[in-house]
Amino acid sequence: MPKRTTIILEDDVYRMLVEESIKAYGSVKNISRVVNEILKKALKEGMEKEFHELLSLKKVAHITAKEFEGFRRELSKRFET
* CA contacts within 13 A on the Cβ side of 50: 7
Residue 14 confidence (pLDDT) above 90: yes
Return the pLDDT at 80.
81
Within a domain: 3: no
Read off the pLDDT band of 20 (50, 70, 90): very high
Within a domain: 72: yes
Number of domains in the chain: 1
Return the pLDDT at 1.
85
Within a domain: 5: no
Within a domain: 65: yes
Return the pLDDT at 78.
84
Within a domain: 51: yes
Angle at alpha carbon of residue 49, lines to 36 and 10, rounded to 5°? 50
Residue 49 confidence (pLDDT) above 80: no
Within a domain: 1: no
Within a domain: 47: yes
Return the pLDDT at 36.
92
Instruction: Give the range of the structural domain holding residue 17, as residue numbers without chain letter.
Output: 11-80
Specify the pTM: 0.55
